[in-house]
Every structure is written in C-alpha cells, then in structure tokens.
Amino acid sequence: MDLAMPGIDGWETIRRIRRDGLCHAHVAVISANAFDKGLDNDVVLPAEDFILKPVKVSALLDWLGQRLSLEWVIRGAASASPADVPAARQAPAALCYPAQAELEALAALVDTGYVRGIQKRLDEIEARDPDSTDFVAMVRDLASGFQLDAIKSLIIERGRDD
C-alpha cells in the first residue's frame, strides 16, 4: 500500500478494507518517508511491514517470503551492484554541479529517503544556480523514479572528481 495516493490516502484505504472485511491479506506499506516506519499507527502495522522507497527487490521478496512462508529457489545469475549508476544515467563530463555544500545537503536528504525534500532542494539549487540546470534535471528524473542509490552514486562520484 502506498501512503501518498490521490483521494484517500493509504492509511484510510487500509482502514476501510479492514472495516468492511474486504480482504484479510497481509499489508506492506510502501513509503518514501523513512520517518513513517517508526510511527505508531491505528491500523496496527508493525515496523517490519514498512518498506521504504526506493523499493529494493530483495527487501520486497524477503517480506513476501516471511509473510507467506515461502522458500525461494534462486537460480544463479550475476547481478550488478544496486549502487551502480546505469550507463544511461551516468553524468556527462561537462555537467555543471552545484556547490559542495548543496551536494552535501542533497546527500543528507537522499540518506533519509525524503523524496519530497530532495525535490524541494533541487528547486532551490536551480533557482540559485542556473548553470546547474542539467544536473538538477538529471537528479529530478532519478528522484521521480526513487533511484536514490543512483543519486548518491552521482554525488559521490562528484566528490571523487574534486
């Protein structure tokens, strides 16, 4: 269940489903806000039923396996590190980055998983530093897809270049 939905939010949807006896399935809450995980809630969902965006497939599969008592069969396949930035998303060499202080503030928001805060910070960066428009557009695109690991890699890579 996503918490941020148009109309009624995820909490109200869960309340109505349970109140009306529509479904007895396990519910996982998907949220981009890391602070939601620690909140008490009136639908009695424990912290382990919260999955933070960006949703990592391994976390979702672990949750499904636990809730449904599944035993996964894994076939050998090489996989890329989740922190790798896809080749199509790598920053062009001429990309103009914002100041280091802006990058550090952005990295702190990425670490908390606060996507709305990231978007707001990007608006501020773009307003203060028009030269960083391409950087802002790239990070905004990554943030809209909850690709926080890719944003972090982009910021870290910039730190290595300095």
Domain ranges of the chain: 10-68, 87-161
Q: Please tell me the distance from the alpha carbon of residue 114 to that of residue 146, in angstroms, as a whole number.
A: 10
More confident residue, 120 or 82: 120
pTM (two decimals): 0.49
Q: Please tell me the distance from the alpha carbon of residue 56 to that of residue 22, in angstroms, as a whole number.
A: 28
Rounded alpha-carbon distances, angstroms, from residue 68 to 10, 27, 43: 22, 11, 20
pLDDT band for position 146 (50/70/90)?
A: confident
More confident residue, 2 or 36: 2
